[in-house]
Amino acid sequence: MSKTKSSESVKVVVRCRPLNRKEESNGPAGGVVKMDLRLGQVILRNPRAPASEPQKTFTFDAVYDSNSKQRDLYDESVRPLIDSVLAGFNGTIFAYGQTGTGKTYTMQGAWLDPEKRGVIPNAFDHIFTHISRSQSDKQYLVRASYLEIYREEIRDLLDPNHGTARALDLRESPETGVYVRDLTSCVCKSIKEIEEVMNVGNQARAVGATDMNEHSSRSHALFLITVECSQPGPDGRKHIRVGRLNLVDLAGSERQAKTGVQGERLKEAAKINLSLSALGNVISALADGRSGHVPYRDSKLTRLLQDSLGGNAKTVMVATLGPAPQHYDETLTTLRYANRAKNIQNQPRVNEDPKDALLREFQREIARLRAQLNHRKWRSKQKKEQVEGEGWERDGDEETEGEEEEVEVEKEAEEYVKLEEQRLEKEKEAIREDRFLLAEEKQRLLGEKERMMGDLRKEQEATEQLTAKYKAMESKLLVGGKNIIDHTNEQQKMLEMKRQEIAEQTRSEREMQQQMLVQDEETLELRETFTSLQQEVEAKTKKLKKYLKLYAKLQCIKAEIQDVNDEHVRSRQELEQTQNELTRELKFKYLIIENFIPPEEKNKIMNRLTFDPEEDQWKFQPLVPAESKSAQMKKRPASAVGYKRPISQYARVAIAMGAHSRYRAENIMFLELDMTPPNTASLDRLTEAELNQSSSVDNSPTKDRGVRKSRSWCQTPKSITSSSSNVSLKACHTATPSAAQ
Ligand code: ADP
Ligand code: MG
């Protein structure tokens, strides 16, 4: 499957939005973020620190200031990634940053204004334009899915029952990595269709916005595009490459202290912060490179981005910032995360001929339908020729016939249907006019012709249906080279290439500048040899300058350590706050459980509960293990059939003989009706006899008194005629012949 396996780091670009009206009206402080576009650096000023404190500088792959255009970001940082996806790599673009800093603006933008269209609509244009311009031997299949992660649950935004549907599960396969089970996926043939898919999904999110107050910024949204491309290889066989593109608009990170949320809102925010801090932990673990364990499993988001961070994908992270002084802390945190993410190494490779390629299935189905259709048409042609008496002979394979011949066959098949209809009509007319035929016979013949016409029509309908199905399937596969001669397209292509070249040049220029900066510092160290006193003074001054620089650096690092400490203290306080809230709630629930639920019920419930780490939920174990209902019922031992408990062979024989009371299996009363109504004489006799018998075998009269009026079966087995125990006893005897001996 893998073709080229090399390691490359996650590309990190930073974008700063302009000050908004509210921030501008807050005072003349201006922004705290400055950018050096040439060097790709962000310089951050601490509004609370004295002016002498050095500013913090971060270097990235590219930076975009408040004047940057959507198109600049796309051409320079996103276009190469989409090209890779079209070549069969996995690609991910995700926007990360505080709420309101322009994540959604960067990913989606304003659709109606061509200047303000974001990464997603530009990617749609890019993909379909590329397909229409590619060579005609390439076949493409494009699919799109749209999901959101809300409160740690994955929801399908393309599901018509999005609001009520069950949350979806994550699964992992060695072939495709982590994927969402049962996620809707729509085949798209054009930009219009894929935009429609996006709109449907956005509307599902918008419904949430009215119901749930600012839903859109409270869920992570993932738009997934799969591009499959089939092309004949040097071996003559068609090879399929599959590129998967994840376009991710994350929910904003926000401080609980700032938003002042409580209760449900707090829990929601805790879940967002949880998944974002899980993302932060994953980034830290990967960037660190030392810790073996990467906590992907801590949240749904990190599991879905598993391949994008440290796996088989090319990834671009767009960190968004706001320039306002009041958001200094968040801006610094975002920059630190972004800075760490630069160190993540991915191993992207081309996905070639995967087993689950849908394109392959489509190609097979189309070939099957085509063969069926051809077969039908050949049959019609053959019949036509027979009707015309030409005598039809075929030599050659149906499917290897040329296209022209196929068209001819189709024409002939249509003609055959027409001719056949005319012929049947004529025959019907002839039957109607035939005066020598009996009325009954006429009716029968007409009926027969009618049936033949019905069959003909049915067959024609079936062919039409098959043709429609075939055409629908075929239209889903996009073929390259359709617009290649289009002149304006050619010009556009040239323009785009030029733009790409310029973007490439800017990028390499920036890289060179960054390298020169590093080299400057290194050359300083190399000039240590001096001959005269003057040179020594110069050298020492330089050294001093160097030490001063180092000192400044040290101060920077100290400030950074202080920042990180402050950050940790803040997040610890927040975690404590969340913990306090949750503990309070736990105590409340505990109080209810302890006082209002019976202990035995509670124990029963607790024994049945198990934790499912896969779904992150407590679950009830079924009362009866589903797999072995029959095995549940213990088999009765052979010696107990018909008895209440197992019994020995000896005791059975003793019972049959009506001997010792010790062998009574049960102290059972027999409640069958006594058919002969007892009189006092018979009762007396019986009592006497019983007394005699019991005194001869058993010395405890108290024991017998309890069964005096109803006889125990073991004492009078012969009087029983229809008792169930007798029947089963018999059955038992026959089942174990040795017992009768
Ligand atoms: P987020 O998704 O990060 O919460 P949004 O994308 O919704 O933030 O942006 C918040 C507001 O800022 C929107 O009104 C958006 O139009 C504006 N905005 C963000 N980035 C820019 C930018 N680069 N240029 C102009 N306006 C922007
Ligand atoms: Mg948003």
| 511-542 confidence digits (pLDDT tens) | 888 888 878 777 766 665 555 677 778 888 99
Measured between alpha carbons, how far is residue 274 from residues 28, 106, 152, 251, 384 in Å?
36, 24, 9, 11, 73
Q: How far is the CA of 100 from the centre of ligand 1 (A)?
A: 6
C-alpha–C-alpha distance, residues 114 and 111, integer Å: 7
103 lines ligand 1 (CB under 6 A): yes
C-alpha–C-alpha distance, residues 659 and 653, integer Å: 9
Higher pLDDT residue, 582 or 740? Answer: 582
108 lines ligand 1 (CB under 6 A): no
pLDDT per residue over 94-132, tens digit each? 999 888 899 999 999 998 898 999 999 999 999 998 898
Tell the residue number behind the tokens 């049962």, with chain if given. 182
pLDDT per residue over 62-77, tens digit each? 999 999 999 999 999 9
Structure pTM?
0.66
Q: How far is the CA of 327 from the centre of ligand 2 (A)?
A: 17
DSSP 77: I
Helix pair 533-596, 328-341: axis angle to 10 deg: 100
Helices and strands (H and E) in the chain: how many: 22, 19
Q: Which residue owns the Cα nearest ligand 1 atom 23? A: 17
Helix pair 439-476, 403-433: axis angle to 10 deg: 160
217 lines ligand 1 (CB under 6 A): yes
pLDDT per residue over 344-355, tens digit each? 888 898 988 887
CB atoms under 10 Å from CB of 205, counted, come to: 19
**Inter-residue contact 731 to 723 (CB < 8 Å):** no
**Inter-residue contact 563 to 554 (CB < 8 Å):** no
DSSP 74: I
Higher pLDDT residue, 417 or 361? Answer: 361
280 lines ligand 1 (CB under 6 A): no
Q: Which amino acid is at 363?
A: Q
Tell me the pLDDT of the chain averaged across its residues. Answer: 78
**Inter-residue contact 89 to 243 (CB < 8 Å):** yes
Q: Which residue owns the Cα nearest ligand 1 atom 19? A: 102
C-alpha–C-alpha distance, residues 702 and 35, integer Å: 106
Q: Which residue owns the Cα nearest ligand 1 atom 1? A: 100
pLDDT of residue 681 exceeding 50, the answer is yes
Q: How far is the CA of 285 from the centre of ligand 2 (A)?
A: 26
Atom number in ligand 1 closest to CA 95: 3
pLDDT of residue 238 exceeding 90, the answer is no
Q: Is 534 helix (H, G, I), strand (E, B) or coil?
A: helix
17 lines ligand 1 (CB under 6 A): yes
Tell me which ligand sits closest to the C-alpha of residue 19.
Answer: 1
C-alpha–C-alpha distance, residues 183 and 186, integer Å: 10
Strands 62-64 and 11-16: parallel
The torsion defined by the Cα of 489, 490, 493 and 494, in degrees rounded to 10, comes to: -140
Tell me which ligand sits closest to the C-alpha of residue 18.
Answer: 1
Of 357, 288, 256, the residue nearest 578 (C-alpha)? 256
pLDDT per residue over 428-461, tens digit each? 788 877 777 777 777 888 888 888 888 888 888 8
Q: Which residue owns the Cα nearest ligand 1 atom 20? A: 102
CB atoms under 10 Å from CB of 356, counted, come to: 11
Q: Is 622 helix (H, G, I), strand (E, B) or coil?
A: coil
Tell me which ligand sits closest to the C-alpha of residue 118.
Answer: 1
Ranked by mean pLDDT, which of 142-146, 462-466, 616-620, 666-670 comes out on top?
Answer: 142-146
Q: CB under 8 Å, gap of 24 or more: what pairs does 458-462 form?
A: 459/376, 460/417, 462/376
C-alpha–C-alpha distance, residues 665 and 650, integer Å: 12
C-alpha–C-alpha distance, residues 159 and 174, integer Å: 27
Lowest-pLDDT range of 41-55, 485-499, 551-565: 485-499
**Inter-residue contact 14 to 319 (CB < 8 Å):** yes
pLDDT of residue 207 exceeding 80, the answer is no
Tell me, what's the pLDDT at 16?
94
118 lines ligand 1 (CB under 6 A): no
80 lines ligand 1 (CB under 6 A): no
C-alpha–C-alpha distance, residues 399 and 374, integer Å: 8
Tell me, what's the pLDDT at 422?
82
Which string of b and e fits 393-419 if b means at least 16 CB within 10 Å? eeeeeeeeeeeeebeebbebbbebbee
**Inter-residue contact 127 to 141 (CB < 8 Å):** no
End-to-end CA distance of the chain: 76
Atom number in ligand 1 closest to CA 99: 4
102 lines ligand 1 (CB under 6 A): yes
193: enclosing H helix or E strand:
helix 191-212
216 lines ligand 1 (CB under 6 A): no
Q: What DSSP string describes 205-230?
A: HHHHHHHHTSGGGGSEEEEEEEEEEE
117 lines ligand 1 (CB under 6 A): no
Q: Nearest 5°: phi and psi at 242?
A: -120, 120
What would you report as the CA-atom Rg of the chain, rounded to the nearest whole angstrom? Answer: 43
255 lines ligand 1 (CB under 6 A): no
CB atoms under 10 Å from CB of 82, counted, come to: 24
18 lines ligand 1 (CB under 6 A): yes
Atom number in ligand 1 closest to CA 68: 23
Token pair for residue 687?
A: 């009592």
Measured between alpha carbons, how far is residue 74 from residues 109, 122, 126, 550 in Å?
12, 8, 10, 38
Helices (H), 109-186: 119-133
Which string of b and e fits 448-467 if b means at least 16 CB within 10 Å? ebeebeeebeeebeebeeee
96 lines ligand 1 (CB under 6 A): no
**Inter-residue contact 198 to 136 (CB < 8 Å):** no
105 lines ligand 1 (CB under 6 A): yes
Q: How far is the CA of 115 from the centre of ligand 1 (A)?
A: 15
**Inter-residue contact 230 to 240 (CB < 8 Å):** yes
Higher pLDDT residue, 488 or 393? Answer: 488
Q: Is 136 helix (H, G, I), strand (E, B) or coil?
A: coil
Helix pair 79-86, 119-133: axis angle to 10 deg: 50
220 lines ligand 1 (CB under 6 A): no
Confidence of residue 708 (pLDDT cuts 50, 70, 90): very low
Lowest-pLDDT range of 136-145, 260-269, 382-391, 580-589: 260-269
Q: Is 638 helix (H, G, I), strand (E, B) or coil?
A: helix
Q: How far is the CA of 202 from the centre of ligand 1 (A)?
A: 17
Q: Which amino acid is at 37?
A: L
**Inter-residue contact 123 to 78 (CB < 8 Å):** yes
Q: Which residue owns the Cα nearest ligand 1 atom 24? A: 17
Q: Which residue owns the Cα nearest ligand 1 atom 17? A: 102
Stated length of the chain: 741
Q: How far is the CA of 508 from the centre of ligand 1 (A)?
A: 29
Tell the residue number behind the tokens 């809230």, with chain if given. 581
